[in-house]
Structure 1
Amino acid sequence: MTIAGRINAMVVAIVITMSMLVSGFASVREYRLERDRLLELLTDEVVRRPDLSLYLYFDNDQALRSTLLSLVSPSPVQYGIVYRAQGGLVMRVPDDPGLGVPDIPTLREGLSAADNGLRSLDGQGESVSSGLPGALMGADRYFHLTLPITSAVNPLSEKVSQEAFLLAATRPEAEKIRHVIGYLHLAVNQRGLLLEVLPGIAWVVAACVTFAVLCLMLSLSLTRRITSPISRLAKLADGIASGKLEEPVKVTGGGEVEEIAAILNGVITGISNYKKEMDVDHQLLSMKVEERTSQLSKRNQELNTAVKQVTRTKNRLRKMAYYDALTSLPNRRLFTEQLSLLLKLAQRNKQTLALLFLDLDNFKRINDSLGHSAGDLLLREVGQRLSKCVRDSDVVAHYADPTAEIDVSRLGGDEFTVVLNDLDAPESVGVVAERLILALSEPMLIDGHELVITPSIGIAIAPEHANEVEGLLRCSDTAMYHAKASGKSTYLVYESSMEEAGLDRLTLENDLRKAMDNDELVLFYQPQVDTRSGKVMGAEALLRWMHPEQGLIPPFKFIPLAEEMGLIGEMGDWVIREACKQVQTFAKKGVSLPKVAVNVSALQFTSSFTRRVKSILEELAVDPATLELELTEGVVMGDTNASVQALAELKDLGVSLSIDDFGTGYSSLSYLSRFPLDELKIDRSFVIEANNSEQGASLVRAIIAMAQSLGLELVAEGVETDEQYEFMTTAGAHVIQGYMFSQPVPAEKLEPLLAPWHFQQQIAQLESRIHR
């Protein structure tokens, strides 16, 4: 190739390359500017159109369609869709866009509710490039712009008028508090956007082509002028090379050849230097790009890790704040919030809602007997059973709205709640309550123990009984306490008459808390008489409450209340201390009371009970043999091994142990030989039945024979008639406690009864009447 051809080829290559680069950069820039301009225009148009939220809030489809048509009028905008905030479709323009439309969760993935969304997707919903190359590669590629439609009015609140809606939008605080009520989805076709900017790109290409043609023409003209002297120089050089010219030849033509050579050398040198600079710049740029890419990748990984940690922490904090750690049920806070919302919805839709308040019967006894770990396992099992029971019924009868999934909550301790929303009839609540009682009444295997737990359920119905959370809870709680009082393991619907009884109970609770401080508690004593000698073998200390206004209150009214309030431990210790003091008082007067018997509650018989008894005995310096503790079968049968150890420790103190109400509880005879007992008391019910039936008489004889074979002392309580006295003494029970000899009396009236001869004459008269 000649020099002229090489020069022309080099010029053409340079011009074409530069034209392509300029055209490419200009086309990309023009497309990007047009894309950003159109998307910004659409976004600004939506922001400037507050009537969108008005039309969407009041379901004005005609105005909404007109507004949507104006937004899709630019030719690149393929279609527009309006969604509800929950994702429900409201309207699309045109009605059939003729292509697959991505769902709103895909378009809004990773965005908060108030963020604008922009996704570049192809026809299969895959993310693609958003630049000019993407528009050239396929006609099915779209920019999916999702814009939140906001309002100053909360869509969950009650409907407001248009005037109120517009007034709320004009308030200063409306710019600070915005509620997302829907989303506008606009699809911009990338190929259509390219067609919009194609005229501008064509002008740039035409200018570049014109520039290239001019450069080529100029190059041809210059090469023609340059190559002529160069050709002559080449011929001269050939001549010199062939040796035909020995003398130097001066080339004519003025200084043009030297100038051209200098220019060419300068051009070659300049091109070489430029290429080196370009190589160095390209190498530096590549290093910078690689470094920045590595930094961005690392930062992206750190950001993703941080997002995951924040999400996990947020979920963990929400669970800690709103859910019970033991049963995983909603706690009191979440329950209150959801119940408040359900009450508003029920009131708005004129629906009936019921609240069931459950309290587990005798749960504290399980905690005290088997330990708190077993109680926790029991609560977890109760929560699971309640959840399963309510979940099945929700689908069938109770939940018209499947999204309102509030069913069971744990308020704390052994209290649970069940909310029944959208009831078809108030009578349905009783069916559900019976189902819950039946589900919980099935035996539970907890730590190797088969336990049966029953609930007491109080029911309150909205709006009949209350329309707010606190009122509904108060009514259901009141009904629950009445259910407990009526026998437990049942349910009661709230009635207004329960309030008065609840107020009386509350008054009694407050007075009971002050009773010990005000010295209102007193002990009565009922003597236990040996019919063979007429002597008093001991006396049972019976607690009474001398109320300043109501007078003497029997124990069956306030002892269960003290157990529920957690006062029974302190009250029981007071009884032991006062009984021991009374024995000491009698001794100082020279009056002998061999022993005093004190009843022990199941809730009082804890792991620290033995230590407290020992402390009282040491404090008063009283002979432990004068103290007898009467335990029911239920007290010692909760945890057999622990009970054996506790009774052995009491026995080591020198205290006498008696089983009270024998035969009315577990009726397990094997424990009598395992426990270090001293005495067995025959319950009053057996004493009465012994004279009414032969079967009852046989049972009492068997109990007496068994006690005698085990070396246990016998006390028959509740003996009131000559027939009962005759049967018991004939059968072998010679120590009698009952109205036959004395009713429970204060200490000052007990003192004369302790004289050794006091009951001898009465016993002689009884024997005379019996054998007459």
Structure 2
Amino acid sequence: MTKQGHYEGLRRRHIAAGTIIFKEGDAGDYAYIIEEGSVEISTVIDGKPVVLNVLGQGIMFGELALVDGRTRSASASANTNVLLTVVTKEQVNMRVESADPILRMLLFVVMRYFRSETSWRTRGKALKPPVIEEVGLTQPTIDLNRKIGEAVDLIRMESELRVAVAEKQFCLHYQPIIDIPTGAIAGFEALIRWHSPSRGFIRPDVFIAIAESTSLILPIGEWVIEESGKALNQLSALSEQPLFMSINVASRQIEEPTFTQTLVGIVQKLGINNRQIKLEILERSLFDSDIAQQWIQDVRKLGFPLSLDDFGTGYSSLQYLNDYHLDNLKIDRSFVWGLGNKTNSANLCKAMVDLAKALGMSVIAEGIETAAQAEVLRELGCDMGQGYYYSPPVPIEEAIALMTKPLAVSNPQPEL
């Protein structure tokens, strides 16, 4: 039971002295904060009531069953007339689920051991090793064990990710970005891959989330810039026209004061024109408007093009287009997939293209998988596109091969 600040706007209950608030074994639907008076926490041992604690103003109680979903481990009654603030299960769970996974794991572990300790003290039972076999366990216990197991696995993966950074276990694949009107390769997007020695292939969305939460994204991001820059030099040597390399930038990198300096240093060392490095950012990276706006101003002054990735999937896309000066808008694959068979998808893509053009931005569509989709985008005036229809992300050797021979779909036609 922990001290808590007052929750504003929550329900309050006046309870008379001697009234039972909840009994041991009841469902844990609410927790309470004592605003006035005191509350007695008790249990029954050998048929006799035993007072465990008397709690006063500012203390929360009843939260254990609220979080782990098990029944009450003790009873609570009003020791005096009390005023309680009621805290619902939804309010607590929403905050627990939004917390860092490792913090959640620690919370669940502490709760499990607290319940074991309480059981030992109140029942005189010897502590037993955790039961691995789930047969006969209640659903809340199974759910708790599952959550702890998932969080422990995330901690293990974080440790493995640190080793991967030190040992450079990553590789980059490159997906060509096509100039839709001509069918020529205009540039590439660098996409990181991690093949763990123990786990095999790990999806980028899994390990990048861990990297962002632990700041490992900073050394990983620095490595990506350098490796993709080297690849750009190799690919540009095979092209008559200047190519660009798109690099994804995470919000944690934007927040890092030295990131821009690091970016410039690597690009200069490799002899690359800043205009050839396209920085892709997500809408959520722009939530801290002051930091994001300053960063955008800084990199634009240095000549780096900026692209808003996954456009249309967030809540404030139009606001961002109005507030920030960006060079490219990237239509999310979820809108592209419906082209050729869904009228609404074509209308939405047309609206995005028209909006971008009105703001002086070029448009890139991602997730193009069919000739029909490519043709609709061409008719709508979309500038560039990428997707498996043209090529999946490939290692540098295959990307070089793409530069030495024409793409098989250089002039895409709609499928019959």
TM-score normalised by structure 2 residue count: 0.70
Q: CA deviation at 1:620?
A: 3.0
The answer as to whether partners of 2:41 and 2:54 remain within 8 angstroms in 1 is no
Q: Does 1:403 align with 2:403?
A: no
Q: Which residue of 2 aligns with 1:583?
A: 232
Q: Does 1:391 align with 2:34?
A: yes
Q: Which residue of 1 aligns with 2:269?
A: 619
Q: Give the distance between the partners of 1:433 and 1:466, measured in 2 at CA.
A: 25
Q: CA deviation at 1:524?
A: 0.7
Gaps of 5+ in 1: 1-322, 330-350, 356-385, 410-416, 442-452, 470-490
Q: CA deviation at 1:579?
A: 1.1
The answer as to whether partners of 1:593 and 1:754 remain within 8 angstroms in 2 is no
Pairwise mapping of residues 164-563 of structure 1 onto structure 2 (< 5 A)?
Answer: 390-391=33-34, 403-405=54-56, 420=64, 426-427=70-71, 434-437=89-92, 454=98, 459=108, 466-467=116-117, 495-498=144-147, 500-563=149-212
Structure with the bigger percentage of strand: 2
Provide the secondary structure at the position in 2 that maps to 1:671: helix
With over 3 angstroms needed to count, the CA separation of the structure-2 counterparts of 1:493 and 1:721, relative to structure 1, is: same
With over 3 angstroms needed to count, the CA separation of the structure-2 counterparts of 1:689 and 1:492, relative to structure 1, is: farther
With over 3 angstroms needed to count, the CA separation of the structure-2 counterparts of 1:563 and 1:505, relative to structure 1, is: same
Q: Which residue of 1 aligns with 2:136?
A: none
Q: Which residue of 1 aligns with 2:332?
A: 683
With over 3 angstroms needed to count, the CA separation of the structure-2 counterparts of 1:643 and 1:353, relative to structure 1, is: same
The answer as to whether partners of 1:631 and 1:659 remain within 8 angstroms in 2 is yes
The answer as to whether partners of 1:595 and 1:628 remain within 8 angstroms in 2 is yes
Q: Give the distance between the partners of 1:615 and 1:440, measured in 2 at CA.
A: 41
Pairwise mapping of residues 69-218 of structure 1 onto structure 2 (< 5 A)?
Answer: none
For each residue in 1:713-742, what CA deviation from the matched residue of structure 2 results, as whole angstroms up to 9, or x when unmatched? 111100102332222122111411000011
Alignment partner of 1:733 out of 363, 382, 388 = 382
With over 3 angstroms needed to count, the CA separation of the structure-2 counterparts of 1:389 and 1:602, relative to structure 1, is: farther
Q: Give the distance between the partners of 1:407 and 1:493, measured in 2 at CA.
A: 33
Q: Which residue of 2 aligns with 1:598?
A: 247
Q: CA deviation at 1:494?
A: 5.5
**What percent identity do the matched residue pairs reach?**
28
The answer as to whether partners of 1:658 and 1:681 remain within 8 angstroms in 2 is yes
For each residue in 1:532-580, what CA deviation from the matched residue of structure 2 results, as whole angstroms up to 9, or x when unmatched? 2221111110011122233332202211111222211221222112211
The answer as to whether partners of 1:631 and 1:660 remain within 8 angstroms in 2 is yes
With over 3 angstroms needed to count, the CA separation of the structure-2 counterparts of 1:726 and 1:592, relative to structure 1, is: closer
The answer as to whether partners of 1:586 and 1:592 remain within 8 angstroms in 2 is no
Provide the secondary structure at the position in 2 that maps to 1:762: coil
With over 3 angstroms needed to count, the CA separation of the structure-2 counterparts of 1:405 and 1:700, relative to structure 1, is: same
Q: Give the distance between the partners of 1:397 and 1:426, measured in 2 at CA.
A: 21
| Amino acid in structure 2 at the alignment position of 1:698 | N
The answer as to whether partners of 1:398 and 1:420 remain within 8 angstroms in 2 is no
Alignment partner of 1:758 out of 403, 406, 414 = 406
Q: CA deviation at 1:638?
A: 2.1
Alignment partner of 2:280 out of 602, 622, 630 = 630
Structure with the bigger percentage of helix: 1
Q: CA deviation at 1:405?
A: 4.7
TM-score normalised by structure 1 residue count: 0.40
For each residue in 1:122-150, what CA deviation from the matched residue of structure 2 results, as whole angstroms up to 9, or x when unmatched? xxxxxxxxxxxxxxxxxxxxxxxxxxxxx
Gaps of 5+ in 2: 7-23, 43-50, 74-85, 120-139
| Amino acid in structure 2 at the alignment position of 1:390 | I
CA RMSD of aligned residues (A): 4.3
| Amino acid in structure 1 at the alignment position of 2:268 | E
| Amino acid in structure 2 at the alignment position of 1:648 | Q
Q: Which has the larger radius of gyration?
A: 1
Corresponding residue pairs, total? 351
Q: CA deviation at 1:436?
A: 3.3
| Amino acid in structure 1 at the alignment position of 2:203 | P
For each residue in 1:206-257, what CA deviation from the matched residue of structure 2 results, as whole angstroms up to 9, or x when unmatched? xxxxxxxxxxxxxxxxxxxxxxxxxxxxxxxxxxxxxxxxxxxxxxxxxxxx
Q: Give the distance between the partners of 1:615 and 1:584, measured in 2 at CA.
A: 16
The answer as to whether partners of 1:586 and 1:593 remain within 8 angstroms in 2 is no
Provide the secondary structure at the position in 2 that maps to 1:466: helix
Q: Give the distance between the partners of 1:558 and 1:629, measured in 2 at CA.
A: 20
Q: Give the distance between the partners of 2:26 and 2:213, measured in 1 at CA.
A: 30
